[in-house]
Amino acid sequence: MKISTKGRYALRLMLDLAINNTGEYIPIKRIAERQEISEKYLEQIITQISRAGFVRSVRGSQGGYQLANPPEEYTVGMILRLMEGELSPVACLDEPGSCDRADRCVTVDVWRQIKDAVENVVDNITLADLVKSYNEKGTCEYFI
């Protein structure tokens, strides 16, 4: 299972908003510059994030984005699922009846354990945890 560029960039965008949360709206251009990501690509990502209600936006010269809720309320899993869909290594875990062999499949238990392990990690790390890690490491660049 791989997390797409879109999923990784969405997490970086949300983390950037959390780290730079001063109460002011942050222009997507500044986020793009800090993260060294195409502004156009971030605009596509922020649209999806905004529709989900994860951020608030204001238009205009003083416009930009900010988190809609405190960083403690966003898990890595929430952000990745928004961009990626379910985090299962195989479709049969999310689509019952999609496999003719489900009733006799031995490997489905392996896939379920992998899914559970991934979910246990991403659902227990918040943006606040990542901000804390960022602050502990200093002001170096961060990559996800």
Instruction: Collect all residues with Cβ–Cβ distance below 8 Å to 109 and sequence separation of at least 6.
Output: none
* pLDDT of 69 strictly over 60: yes
Average pLDDT, the chain: 91
Check residue 140 and give its pLDDT. Answer: 55
> Per DSSP, what are the bridge partners of residue 67?
55
pLDDT-derived band at 36 (thresholds 50, 70, 90) equals very high
CB of 19 closer than 8 Å to CB of 5: no
If residue 113 lies in a helix (H) or strand (E), which one and from where to where?
helix 108-122
* pLDDT of 12 strictly over 70: yes
Instruction: Say how far apart CA 113 and CA 109 lie, in whole Å.
Output: 6
Instruction: Collect all residues with Cβ–Cβ distance below 8 Å to 102 and sequence separation of at least 6.
Output: 92, 96, 108
Check residue 108 and give its pLDDT. Answer: 86
CB of 118 closer than 8 Å to CB of 1: yes
Q: For 91-124, what is each residue's pLDDT tens digit?
A: 888 877 777 887 788 888 899 999 999 999 999 9
**Chain centroid, CA 26 distance in Å:** 18
* pLDDT of 137 strictly over 90: no
Instruction: Say how far apart CA 113 and CA 87 lie, in whole Å.
Output: 12
